Amino acid sequence: MKNKIVLLNVLLFILFSCSSDNDDNDAIDVINKPESKTQKVIHHLSIKEVYKGANNTPQYDTNTYEFFYENGQVSKLTDLEEEGSYRNFEYDKDKKLIKIIEYNNNILDNTEELFYSGNLLSYSNRIRNGVVDRDYFHYTQNLLTMSCNDKLCSDTALNYMYTYNSANNIETLLYNKVDDAKDIFSYDQKINPFKEYNPYFKIMINEDLYFLTLSQNNPVRKDIYSDGNHEESIIYTITYDNENYPLTIEGKDTVTGEFKASYIFDYKYITID
């Protein structure tokens, strides 16, 4: 009888020990598992701009983009105004953007591959119909300052040159060194909806999204110069949601009140592991 009691106690000890170990392992799994978080992101962005058509009549160009996300990164950007027009974005394990594949009318238009020097985007190769176009990127204190068609960034090869203010907003955007064509910007102090986006995505998409992505805040004024002469000023009126994200941005000529551009945002939340 005593032997049976001893054996029973040993079995109970082993049973509870295993249960305790499992509970401890479960607790460790909970501790080690990273917490998911939600992030507010752009769902749609509609951009409307005016330009002069025949006989100086105003013509309007509208693009409405839908953003798709995977693992917190933009994986696809679709232009809803043009059927079959979209771009796919591919990233490596370090979240560096490495490839952009663009389609028009659901037909492959071009592929752009990105190459890095450390953590800085060094150059990109865009391949269209077997022809390679290369862009080089130059930095000052990790801020993008120039995009050029040649490595030495000669005057005629310049795509864009940026200078920044103390808040890391683009202050001057130079299009052409020869003609001294440039825009000078002023900003609000509210949240730029692209602020937390992938930095390499922001560089590659900045021109297409009318230079909205690289600054920390939102533009409230743009002064346009050509050949050193002031050509035009645009004032932007912004409405915000209750989290100070822009909902609408509308630009008008400061003198005539003529419509120049509008940007309409809507947002959604995604979960990031």
Which two three-digit tokens encode residue 171? Answer: 């202050």
- Decide if 101 contacts 108 (C-beta within 8 A): yes
Residues of the chain with pLDDT > 70: what percent? 88
Does 58 have pLDDT greater than 60? yes
Tokens, residue 105: 């009318």
Q: Average of pLDDT values for 127-132?
A: 95
What contacts 31, CB < 8 A, 6 or more positions away?
A: none
Give the DSSP letter string of 200-238: HHHHHHTTTTTT-SSSSS-EEEEEEEETTEEEEEEEEEE
Question: Cα–Cα distance between 103 and 80 in angstroms, integer?
Answer: 13
Over residues 69-87, mean pLDDT: 96
Examine the pLDDT at 258 and tell me if it is beyond 80: yes
Secondary structure letter of residue 242 according to DSSP: T
Cα separation, 94 vs 106, in Å, equals 30
Residues 6+ apart with CB under 8 A from 271: 36, 37, 38
**Is pLDDT larger for residue 52 or for residue 187?**
187
**What are the residue boundaries of the structural domains of the chain, listed by start?**
1-33, 39-272
Q: With a cut of 70, say whether residue 21 has pLDDT above it.
A: no
194 φ, ψ to 5°? -90, 0
- Is residue 250 within a helix (H) or strand (E), and if so which, with residue range? strand 246-253
For 177-203, write each residue's pLDDT tens digit: 878 899 999 999 999 999 999 999 999
Other beta carbons less than 10 A from residue 269's beta carbon: 9
pLDDT of residue 54: 81
Does 89 score more than 80 pLDDT?
A: yes
Residue 273 binned pLDDT confidence (cut-offs 50, 70, 90) = confident
Segment holding 38, helix H or strand E: strand 37-52
Residue 70 CB contacts under 8 Å (≥ 6 apart), including other chains:
none
Query: Is the domain defined by 39-272 classed in CATH 2.40.160?
Result: yes
Closest by CA to 70, choosing from 238, 194, 198, is 198
For 253, phi and psi rounded to 5 degrees? -60, 130
pLDDT-based confidence at 51, cuts 50/70/90? Answer: confident
**Residue whose entry in the numeric block shows the structure tokens 């492959």:** 108
Residue 228: both structure tokens together: 């050193």
Rounded to whole angstroms, how far apart are CA atoms 77 and 74? Answer: 7
